[in-house]
Amino acid sequence: MTSLAALPWWQDLTPRQIERLAAADGVAVLPLAAIEQHGEHLPLSTDLDIGLGLLQAALPRLRTGLPLCVLPPLAVGLSLEHRGFTGTLSLSPETALATLAELGDSVARAGIRRLVLFNSHGGNKALLDLAALKLRAAHRMLVVRANYFRFAPPIDALPAAELRHGLHGGALETAMMLHLAPHKVRVEAIDTFPSLGQTMAAQGRTLAPEGEAGFAWMAEDLNPGGATGDARLADAALGARLVGHFASVLARVIEDACDFDLAVLDGAGGVGRTPA
Ligand SMILES: [Zn+2]
């Protein structure tokens, strides 16, 4: 259902048009995703489909005239935790960080000072943190770390336990895929995929895969099938609600990036600067 041709792609512009975007103090959005296993019910492209689907849905929610372009997506990310499963593509952490930082350098060189890293894959979180800091240290530019799965979900959309443990191929991702790309979902393979995290929580352990004290995990540590969560809770209506919600938050993030006072980054004590 997503018409990707409708996105305002960076690569569709000419040098002069990019210069105009920079002169208009525009925002560049870089979608970051993964090509990795999501169990047998979802395709390898799940994170890419969700990321681009959310971006597509965010566009009509933006105020009109906002100067914006979308960089070519970094489809392959950091997926070491899924490399035990056939089909997963992954960069090394070093290569992924260098790639992201070098793309950001290119954007800065074009005179664009507002960059939104929009990420749809949990395994890329640390990468965004490091790349954003590297870019900020090197350039007086705003680099936003926007991970949609860190946006507060709509109230009562899913049980708290599913939101906590359904990290991968669970109800959340399956529902959005049933809405965005239903032809790619193998509904006969939809099931519940209990996570080691649930077992540990039931035992009252302090440690959890993504808890206050987390630990590094490979997907097969959490569930031998590679997915976690109860995908049976997913349906297309829930997916539509989730996509609409996350897209609205993303639109606000992009507008805030557009309105951010860049004087703060010039060390000029701009409005909004937090006193040390
Ligand atoms: Zn995913």
Cα(109) to ligand 1 centroid in Å equals 32
Cα(264) to ligand 1 centroid in Å equals 35
Which of these, 179, 130, 170, lies nearest to 149 by C-alpha position? Answer: 170
Cα(37) to ligand 1 centroid in Å equals 8
Tens place of pLDDT per residue across the chain (276 aa): 445 768 999 999 999 999 999 999 999 999 999 999 999 999 999 999 999 999 999 999 999 999 999 999 999 999 999 999 999 999 999 999 999 999 999 999 999 999 999 999 999 999 999 999 999 999 999 999 999 999 999 989 999 999 988 989 999 999 999 999 999 999 999 999 999 998 998 888 888 898 889 999 999 999 999 999 999 999 999 999 999 999 999 999 999 999 999 999 987 555 554 554
161: left (phi over 0), alpha (psi -120 to 50) or beta: alpha
267 burial via Cβ count (<10 Å: 0-12, 13-18, 19+): exposed
Cα(34) to ligand 1 centroid in Å equals 8
Domains and CATH numbers, the chain: 9-266 (3.40.50.10310)
Cα(46) to ligand 1 centroid in Å equals 6
Structure tokens at 40: 């047998």
Cα(110) to ligand 1 centroid in Å equals 32
C-alpha dist (Å) from residue 47 to 113, 155, 261:
27, 23, 32
Cα(35) to ligand 1 centroid in Å equals 9
